């Protein structure tokens, strides 16, 4: 598959790229700074400069055209409510519309397990970020794309065990970035998980088994 990672310099994205390349996929990573190109390409992806805040939907269509799948993997701007609006919400929504217009069937959104819950109230630093992601998630669910939304818990740099806990009850909990990358690798090619929101954290169930459970639950 020809896969484009939006947010290609993020820590999850840099763990994901070699997994996809080693699985035989052609991977392009969109980055917003030329300073990121060498590091991204060292991870195996072809880097392409693209500032999401400066591209309208038509511009994103041209960036995405000819790809088979999109992975939204933009790192959070938790301390910047304005960028939550301009990137985590607005740019994500434009990328969804662009993917549909470009004829891309598969779209995987790396979101957050808290987006389906009420933020913690005034002063909650995650509130604007969670609200922005929730708006983007809702837009994706209303699209014609074959989408999957991933809701990991609190991201850590712990080693990836390949073991998860999954379910709607997961609203927090440590989730290693390495495990998130492994989940994306398996999910992006799995149309069986189209229309599924998968909340997860580090746990005791092998990833393949956890995804199989999620597939059965969604089809039931």
pLDDT value at position 25?
A: 96
- In the chain, the percentage of residues whose pLDDT exceeds 70 is 91
* Global pTM value: 0.91
- Residue identified by tokens 């709607």 is 168
Confidence of residue 219 (pLDDT cuts 50, 70, 90): low
Looking from the CA of 23 toward its CB, the CA atoms found within 13 Å total: 18
Q: Please say whether the beta carbons of 209 and 162 come within 8 A.
A: no
pLDDT tens-place string over residues 153-177: 889 999 999 999 998 887 778 999 9
DSSP string, 13-53: HHHHHHHHHHTT-EEEEEES-GGGHHHHHHTTPEEEE--TT
pLDDT tens-place string over residues 88-120: 999 999 999 999 999 998 999 999 876 554 444
pLDDT value at position 126?
A: 61
Q: Which domains does the chain have, with CATH numbers?
A: 2-219 (3.40.50.720)
Beta bridge partners of 151: 199
Confidence of residue 130 (pLDDT cuts 50, 70, 90): confident
pLDDT value at position 123?
A: 43
Looking from the CA of 127 toward its CB, the CA atoms found within 13 Å total: 8
Q: Hey, which bits of 62-113 come out as E strands?
A: 69-72, 106-110
Q: Rounded to the nearest 5 degrees, what angle is found at the Cα of 40, between the Cα atoms of 210 and 103?
A: 65
- 203's tokens: 């746990």
Mean pLDDT of 18-23: 96
- 214's tokens: 């999620």
3-state helix, strand, coil in the chain (%, to 5): 40, 25, 35
pLDDT tens-place string over residues 43-73: 889 999 998 888 999 999 999 999 999 999 9
* pLDDT higher than 90, residue 84: no
């Amino acid at each position: 598959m020809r896969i484009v990672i939006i947010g290609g310099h993020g820590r999850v994205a840099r763990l994901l790229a070699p997994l996809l390349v080693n699985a035989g996929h052609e991977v392009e990573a969109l980055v917003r700074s030329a300073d990121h190109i060498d590091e991204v390409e060292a991870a195996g992806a072809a880097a392409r400069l693209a500032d999401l805040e400066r591209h309208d939907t038509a511009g994103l269509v041209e960036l995405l055209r000819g790809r088979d799948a999109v992975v939204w993997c933009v790192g959070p701007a938790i301390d910047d409510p304005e960028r939550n609006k301009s990137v985590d919400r607005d740019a994500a929504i434009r990328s969804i519309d662009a993917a549909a217009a470009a004829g891309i069937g598969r779209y995987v959104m790396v979101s957050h397990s808290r987006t389906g819950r009420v933020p913690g109230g005034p002063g909650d630093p995650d509130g604007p970020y969670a609200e922005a992601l929730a708006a983007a998630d809702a837009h994706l669910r209303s699209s014609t794309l074959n989408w999957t939304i991933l809701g990991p818990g609190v991201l850590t740099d712990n080693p990836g065990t390949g073991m998860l806990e999954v379910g709607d009850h997961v609203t927090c909990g440590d989730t290693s970035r390495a495990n998130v990358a492994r989940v994306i690798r398996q999910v992006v090619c799995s149309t069986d998980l189209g229309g599924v929101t998968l909340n997860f954290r580090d746990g005791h169930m092998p990833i393949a088994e956890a995804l199989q459970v999620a597939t059965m639950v969604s089809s039931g």
